Structure 1
Amino acid sequence: MARLSVPTTARLPSSLRVDASTSAVTKVLNRLSRASLLSLVVDWLGESNQTLCPPLLRRDKEDDDDVDEFYPLAQSLEELRELYADMQAAKGSKREVVDRIVEGDWRMGLSLYQLAMADMRYLYDHPGSLKWIAYRIQQLKSPLNEAEADGAEKPDKETLAIPRFHPSTFLQNLQAEVLPDVKAHYNFDRPEGMPLWLLRIFILDSPYNTTLAVSNRTGDRATTSFDASRTLYIAFPDASPHIYISKSQSTGPAAPGESRSLHSLIVDGIPKALSRPRERYTLNKTNLSTKNLSGLLHIRGAGRTNAAGGGWGIYSELKPTDSPLNPILPTPPLSEDSSSEPMIDNRPVSRTHKRALGPEESRRERAIKRAKMAAQARFGSSAKVDDRKGMERLDIMIEDPFPNTPGVSAPQNEAEAGEAEELERSQSSKSKGRRSGLELEFEQVRDLAEIAGEGSREGTWKPNVRLTFQGSHVFAGIRQLVEAGVINGGRMPGWMTGEEGVSIGAVRDGRIRGHKGSGL
């Protein structure tokens, strides 16, 4: 008699098996390379993973009916380990390994823990496959009277309290915030070389936590709820008031707005799971999103570079006993570069050759030296091409009024300025159609400015100017342009050096809106 399955609020167990013939399972395995897939199978066969990743073995007393099969079962784990070790040493195709897993040793299905390990391995092999959004954890003020208790909750910007994070307690509290008709599987992992905990959340639209949640048979055709599953990652850096949340990924076609609603549900549930009695927290967006997890740790981690970006990073490299207020400051890298030999065409110039230089080459030499000195002063030790902390995109909106330059005609009055702005908004909405997330972010910034009274200025005209820097390492590219003399390092604004620590922002009076653009 089959077990009785009833709806429950419990999460999905890691030992729950998924049919190996499911398209989502083969899709997860085919994403990995052959070397990564074989290394993953060796981890499955380890002694510590046998409770959640056991393969199908042939018993000694069992009839040898599977001898004639294309993938006969092994009799022991040692034999199976030797088999996959030989496959690692030999050459072959990835299709052979996938077929061996699906139709051979794990033909009865893969557990949710195995699928989580496969997803984690793909993330480690492709660090830029996810886009992360940084959030700041802030403690809410405790109401002192009934008026404050009835009003809106406000974050306490003066406190430096960080919530205590315990994985098992956090998962229990987070599961209580998830809808009862949604089941989730959680898996924690510690990436090598990164001071953070990585949580993978696998979500299914099912009220059951048994095999009914992963398979649903209708007649002779088997369908699975994996087609509507979503995966979300949350990173918890050590001793940091920030967390990073990735955008949800779906294995199949998802309804419009479904991923966004799931993301908002998780964002609302995380501070509640971290809160305790008389100690409540909230999440605030920091306008920083990137695909580089190492760059997030550098800008929004537990180090001293959170508020010391660009050229200010020299103070984050000091010893704890040192201080910028000391009368004897450390020797900056700028003075070291100033005493180095001049370079022309990446070659050092000797003193005898320096005397033979003409006036044109001498001016060129001095210009190159000044440009490198300016780049070193503005960027410091940051924005290096090989530092693996690059940001791939920077979107900036300029909200400064247009200068009164002779020969440039501006709108004569407020009515013309309003009509021009309204026409520009209507044209942009007609040409672009559906508004992107960047448009919504900029409109939110503009609305906040109007509420605060910062957007209205008498007799000024602000053109709609937006800048987008895109590449593998945006600030490293800007630094190279400064060193080449294309950009004037002395007159370059501070937000072009990365010291603001944002990937999207609005510039007003030459500065990113807000205190250093991040709400620190």
Structure 2
Amino acid sequence: MAPRVSVPTATRLPSSLRVEASHPAVVKALNKLSRPSLLSIVLDWLDDKNQGICPPLLRPAELDEVGPDGQEQDDPYADDFYPPARSVDELQELYSDLQDRRGGKREVVDRIIEGDWRQGLSLYQLALVDIQYLYDHPLSLKWGAFRIQPLRPPRDEAEAEAPEKVNKMSLAVPRFHPSTFLQNLQAEVLPDVKAHYQFERHRSLPLSLLRIFVLDSPYTTSLAVASSSRNRGGLSAPTSFDASRTIYLAFPDAAPYIYISKSTTTGATTTGDTRSLRSLLIDGVPKALSKPKERYALTPVGLSTKNLDALLSTKGSGRTNAAGGGWGIYVDDSKTTESPLNVVLPTPPPSAPGSADEVSSPHDPQHAALPVRKKRPRDPVASKYEREIKRHRSLAKARFGHSALAEDGKGIERLDIVIEDAFPHLPESATNNNDDDDSDVTDDEEEEDDNNADASGRQSPSKSTRGRRSTLDITFIQQQAALDAADPDNNDDEDMVENAEFERLNAGTWRPNVRLTFHGPHVFAGVRQLVEAGVINGERMPGWLTGEEGVTIGAVRSGRIRGHKGSGL
């Protein structure tokens, strides 16, 4: 008999490919779900439409038949703790009964692994388990937003040979068709890497999810998901399934943005492998969305968070993309909202009968019959405190609008800001007052101070690059590299003039290295509470502290945040 030969192909992994049920990655994935979620997933597997790729182990009908000699056949499942059922309907009834009664999660996992799916779970089943975990824990992944920008078509041969440029004047948005997109994306995958794709429409958010499961294997057969292997020394070696990676893509409805999550691994992998997979997707997704004479590119927008609701409100299809914070009053659809764009002044509500607004005549007999009550004098300190609190709350409402509320479910976990402005100069009157104190300074000390001032204003390259580079600097470098790759000529004349003017105004001044990092479940809601409490001056607070710029990482120059060569939009 000729040996079996497995030839590497460029196709994707089939959804019906089974992974051994006893594999540690399978057991770990099942144990991550709660008992109700696990039972609901099993009932989805047992649905009629999923029987082709999620078939359970059923008892053969031949075992119940009586032989020609009148004796029953040997039952190989007689000693099993979880004997197989005779039909799918019987399994559906069994798991429905498990839903109705209380119990532990362990019995459900053991029945799946050792009973009904002992032959293995398909990649489709594992994908449903992973997606269900994302529904149960919506903050388990960190997402980064990217803008889909059209590229300018070349007009002559010289432009065709040069790098493509972003067409900033075009409003074209690519048409998204799942099957065509997957076919084009698979063409960008290397032949020694195999991927499994699973599309899912989000249950509560207006977006579509794409789960990509990547294996470092050239095969699409059971060799790609083998649970054990041996090296030359006879020891067990890690398999391709142990080093698998999973990454999600989210496509919001009617929005020129795409959200890419950080990849998760089932085993031990290096950071370089994770970043390389993400970079391959950033390069491959725009090619999969493109078509002849209509090319696109992905550019980062400086927004990353674990909350998909926050991404949709800032970089989605709604009207709050360019109207964050207090500017949201212009996009509110409520008719009762007092907007500066209204041409008719709002009508005050009618006062209720018997309220303090109704003024009664002193000659009214009812007025004469009522006893005159003197108002109790209020504490001036308490009344002043109440007025201050009311003023702070109205100021916070004006700056934040309807956003940055603790219960809105749109929290940003981290905000990184770099201040690039020069240190403000002291007035001459303040410096002249200290002349007498500095009169006893010697010439050597003055020369030393001048040298220190020059060193602080202009750091040498050796000192600026000494030590470990911060994560914020690495992020800025990666974002700038992505922008340069998408648009090599993004340093247009306006940016060059603005940068030259900024350098001229700040020449010879001291610019300290100030970095601000805000942590918390809802950063901007915390800032709003500080404004309401009077800790932060809401009148002089910069706009980027309200979240209206729509970025989580940026640099402040001349008092305004610069996300990517401009604002965060």
TM-score, normalised by the number of residues in structure 2: 0.81
Map 1:287-366 onto structure 2 (within 5 A): 287-318=302-333, 326=341, 328=343, 356-366=377-387
Look up the SS of the partner of 1:304 in the other structure: coil
Map 1:42-53 onto structure 2 (within 5 A): 42-53=43-54
CA distance in 1, matches of 2:479, 2:422: 16
Partner of 1:439: 473
Map 1:408-419 onto structure 2 (within 5 A): 412=450, 415-418=454-457
> Are 1:257 and 2:272 matched, yes or no?
yes
Partner of 2:222: 211
Q: Which piece of structure 1 moves more, 140-149 or 36-45? A: 140-149
> Are 1:285 and 2:304 matched, yes or no?
no
CA distance in 2, matches of 1:233, 1:259: 13
**Counterpart selection for 2:528 from 479, 492, 498:** 479
Distance 1:104 1:317, change over 3 A: same
Partner of 1:173: 184
Deviation (angstroms), 1:66:
0.7
CA distance in 1, matches of 2:479, 2:503: 10
CA distance in 2, matches of 1:332, 1:419: 60
Partner of 1:369: 390
Distance 1:129 1:329, change over 3 A: farther
Deviation (angstroms), 1:445:
7.9
Deviation (angstroms), 1:305:
0.5
Map 1:100-499 onto structure 2 (within 5 A): 100-215=111-226, 218=229, 224-318=239-333, 326=341, 328=343, 356-405=377-426, 412=450, 415-418=454-457, 420=459, 425-426=464-465, 429-430=466-467, 433=468, 435-442=469-476, 452-453=499-500, 454-455=502-503, 457-499=506-548
Q: Which runs of 5+ in 2 are unaligned?
A: 64-73, 349-355, 357-372, 435-447, 482-490
Distance 1:214 1:459, change over 3 A: same
CA distance in 2, matches of 1:54, 1:188: 20
Distance 1:446 1:36, change over 3 A: closer
Partner of 1:40: 41
Look up the SS of the partner of 1:461 in the other structure: coil
Equivalent residues of 1:215, 1:224 under 8 A apart? yes
CA distance in 2, matches of 1:445, 1:229: 27
CA distance in 1, matches of 2:567, 2:256: 13
Look up the SS of the partner of 1:512 in the other structure: strand
Distance 1:99 1:355, change over 3 A: same
Partner of 1:99: 110
Distance 1:272 1:480, change over 3 A: same
Equivalent residues of 2:29, 2:130 under 8 A apart? yes
CA distance in 2, matches of 1:181, 1:269: 16
Look up the SS of the partner of 1:388 in the other structure: coil
Equivalent residues of 1:234, 1:244 under 8 A apart? yes
Q: Which piece of structure 1 moves more, 500-509 or 151-160? A: 151-160
CA distance in 1, matches of 2:52, 2:269: 33
CA distance in 2, matches of 1:354, 1:232: 68
Whose Rg is larger?
2
Distance 1:383 1:405, change over 3 A: same
Deviation (angstroms), 1:358:
2.3
CA distance in 2, matches of 1:185, 1:329: 58
Partner of 1:346: none
> Over the residues paired in the alignment, what is the CA RMSD in angstroms?
3.1
Deviation (angstroms), 1:12:
0.3
Look up the SS of the partner of 1:128 in the other structure: coil
Q: Per-residue CA shift, 1:421-465, capped at 9, x if unaligned?
A: 757635xx53xx4x4542312456899899954456312111011
CA distance in 2, matches of 1:516, 1:222: 48
Look up the SS of the partner of 1:119 in the other structure: helix
Q: Per-residue CA shift, 1:334-366, capped at 9, x if unaligned?
A: xxxxxxx9xxxxxxxxxx998622221221121
CA distance in 1, matches of 2:241, 2:41: 22
Read off the aligned partner of 1:152 and give its amino acid letter: P
Distance 1:332 1:216, change over 3 A: farther
Q: Which piece of structure 1 moves more, 286-295 or 404-413? A: 404-413
Look up the SS of the partner of 1:226 in the other structure: coil
Deviation (angstroms), 1:514:
5.5
CA distance in 2, matches of 1:399, 1:374: 28
Equivalent residues of 2:301, 2:564 under 8 A apart? no
Look up the SS of the partner of 1:356 in the other structure: coil
> Are 1:15 and 2:44 matched, yes or no?
no
CA distance in 2, matches of 1:302, 1:259: 30
CA distance in 2, matches of 1:189, 1:252: 25
Equivalent residues of 1:298, 1:306 under 8 A apart? yes
Q: Per-residue CA shift, 1:33-83, capped at 9, x if unaligned?
A: 122111111111111211111100001212422122111111111211122
For these two proteins, the number of residue pairs brought into alignment is 497
CA distance in 1, matches of 2:252, 2:134: 17
Deviation (angstroms), 1:228:
0.8
Read off the aligned partner of 2:391 and give its amino acid letter: R
Distance 1:417 1:332, change over 3 A: farther
CA distance in 2, matches of 1:353, 1:34: 66
Deviation (angstroms), 1:163:
0.3
Deviation (angstroms), 1:329:
6.5
TM-score, normalised by the number of residues in structure 1: 0.88
Equivalent residues of 2:300, 2:479 under 8 A apart? no
Distance 1:480 1:21, change over 3 A: same
Q: Which runs of 5+ in 1 are unaligned?
A: 334-340, 342-351
Q: Which piece of structure 1 moves more, 482-491 or 129-138? A: 482-491
Q: Percent identity?
A: 61
Map 1:12-91 onto structure 2 (within 5 A): 12-62=13-63, 63-91=74-102
CA distance in 1, matches of 2:317, 2:374: 49
